[in-house]
A = this chain, B = another copy of it.
């Protein structure tokens, strides 16, 4: 299945919108997401449907097909691997890499992707804390959610902080909790929502609800 650049981008948007909402994706929603006009979307979905990467009936919205999902996940995989490369190897900040990865994700070479993946040591998460699907489209960690959403015995990996409060960052530094730290929830105190956790360094500690709400984690198998 050979797709053009524009088709790949539509497919990616359809995949993301499908994941967010539950049912089919509306023409208007897609138009907004693609920053284009509904008329253009109507045209494009007809083409994509023709190629079998989406299911589409006039006026009924769009659903991604099996092959479509495979392609979308391959593009997402490339995007997130390149983001890891840009941050880990080239020294970019995580908030500078999106536009470049948006270009790099369209490079066609399965061998390149596998070599890059190996070079980066098979990362499972990108610098934004989003999970990277493997070459078969399987995610090995969940998406980024607040630590405070985890339940007792859940395992997670720190994937981000939703605040740039210096005090918080210094505190996290002090207790040695940072991006990539793996942890397990030992206990949650019902009264104040504070959590007793154990980190990958076998250290036990308490995290207040206030802090847990600022920390993003991805669930770990």
Residues of A that sit less than 8 Å from B by CB: 86, 89-92, 99-100, 103-104, 107-109, 112, 115-116, 119
Contacts and interface: CB of A to CB of B under 8 A. Distances in A.
Nearest to A90: B115
Contact of A107 (B91, B104, B109): B104
Given A90-B116, A91-B115, 16 more contacts: A86-B112, A86-B115, A89-B119, A90-B112, A90-B115, A90-B119, A92-B115, A99-B109, A100-B107, A100-B109, A100-B112, A103-B107, A103-B108, A103-B109, A104-B104, A104-B107
Main secondary structure of the interface of A (DSSP, over half): helix
Contacts of A107: 100, 103-104
Contacts of A115: 86, 90-92
A104 B92 CA distance: 18
Contacts of A116: 90
Contacts of A89: 119
Contacts of A90: 112, 115-116, 119
A59 to B, nearest CB: 35
Contacts of A99: 109
Contacts of A104: 104, 107
Instruction: Report the 6 A-B pairs with minimum CB-CB distance, sorted nearest first.
Output: A90-B115, A103-B107, A100-B109, A100-B112, A90-B119, A89-B119
A5 to B, nearest CB: 9
A150 B191 CA distance: 83
Contacts of A103: 107-109
